[in-house]
Amino acid sequence: MRRTVFEADHELFRESVREFVERTLLPVDEDIRNERMLRREVWLEAGRQGFLGMQVPEEYGGQDAGDFRFNAVIGEELARVAVAYNSIVSIHIDICAPYLLELATDEAKKKWLPGFCTGELITAIGMTEPSGGSDLAALKTTAVRDGDQWVINGSKTFITNGGHADLIIVAAKTDPERGAKGITLFGVEAGTPGFSRGTKLDKVGQPEADTSELFFENVRVPDSHVIGELNRGFIHMMERLSQERLSCAVANVAHARGVLDETIAYVRERKAFGQPIGTFQHNKFLVAELITKLDVAQAFVDQCLAAHVAGELSAVDASKAKWWSSDVQNQIIDGCVQLFGGYGYMREYRVARAWMDARVTRIWAGSNEIMKEIIGRDAGL
C-alpha cells in the first residue's frame, strides 16, 4: 500500500540520508560494532549534512525544518541498517532536543545548541536508575541547592550514548517528600568534577550503541543548567514521552521492513528439494502473514506520525504505537530467523543480529506492560 504521510521534500531528503548511510556509516559498520559506540567522525559528518539540527532554529546553526517527518526519515533509514543506529541518533535529535529547545535557559541554548547541531556536543538523557526501571517517580538521585548552585548525587543506568556524551540531561529529586512532584531536570557537562561513567554495559544486542552507567558524586551545576521549571521535571518528561515512543515505533517498523525484505530475497533464492524454499506452502503463508502484519503496523504508525505533525498525537495513541510496533517487529524478525534456518542463528547474518537487537524494544521507552496500563486507564479501567 502506498504511504501518504511523506511529501516530495521528505523523499528527496531521504535520498540524502541514504547516501550518508552508504558513504559514511556502512564502511565502518563492523568497526562500530566492535568498538561499541558511534564514532565521532560519523557524528560530525551527520552534523555537516544538517541531520542533527533539523528542528533547531537557524540562529543556533540548525535547519529549523519545523516538521518531525524529517526526523522520521532519518530514523527509518538508520533503523533499516540496525535499530541501534536510530536509537543512538534519536536520543540526540528526537528526545534530548525538545528539552533543550523548549526548556533550557537562553544562556544554556547559546552554549549547547551550536555544538548539538554540528556533532561536537553529543547528548544523552539520564532517567532510568538501577532500582527504578519504568517507574520514573521513584528516582533516588537528588539535587540540593547550595547558594546559586545545585549539588547532584546518585546514579543512572542503561543510558544510551552515556559513555561518550558531552551533555547529560539528568532527572533528580529536588523535593524528595513530594514524590513525582519534586523532580527537576539538569544539564550536566562531561568533565564536571564528581561526574563519572561506568564501563560500557555488555548487552545481548545492539553492540553499536554505547550504553553505560553514570555516577554523580557531589556534582555541582549552576542555576543556568536547570532545564525547565523547578519541581516540574516529571511533567516535562511525561509531556515529551509521546515523541520518544513515536520515534521508537517508526524505527521498529523500518527495522522489521529491512530484515523482511532481505528474508524475502533469501527465500526466493535458497533451494531445498529442488525448488526455492519460499515456494513451499508453509513458508509462502508465513511470508504472507509477516508482510500483512508489517503493512498494518506501518499504516497505524504513519497515522500517528501525521497526528504528531498536526499536534494531535495523544499519549495513549503513542503508547499503542510503541507496544504494537515492537511486538510486531519481534514477531516478524523471529519468523525471518526461522526462514533462514541454521544460518539465521549465525551472528554473521544480519537477521541474527536484528533478532537480538529487537528484543529490548519491548522494554525501553516504557515497557509494553506500562503501555498497556496507560491504554487500559484511558478505557476507564
Among candidates 128, 228, 217, 226, which has minimal Cα distance to 186?
226
Single out the residue of 277, 258, 280 nearest to residue 354, CA to CA: 258
Pairing label, strands 149-160, 195-200: unpaired
What element of type H or E holds 106? helix 106-118
Find the helix or strand (DSSP H, E) in which 75 lies.
Answer: helix 68-81
Q: Examine the residue annotation and report whether 244 is marked as an active-site residue of this protein.
A: yes
Under a CB-based contact definition with an 8 Å cutoff, are residues 280 and 357 in contact? no
Tell me which residue has cell 516538521: 67
Catalytic residue among 45, 107, 244, 373: 244
Residue 375 dihedral angles phi and psi, to the nearest 5°: -65, -40
Side-chain-side CA neighbours of 204 within 13 Å: the count stands at: 9
Distance in angstroms (rounded) separating the CA atoms of residues 33 and 20: 18
| Contact partners, residue 358, CB within 8 Å, separation at least 6 | 83, 205, 252, 255, 256, 326, 329, 330, 333
Chain centroid, CA 29 distance in Å: 18
Catalytic center residues:
244
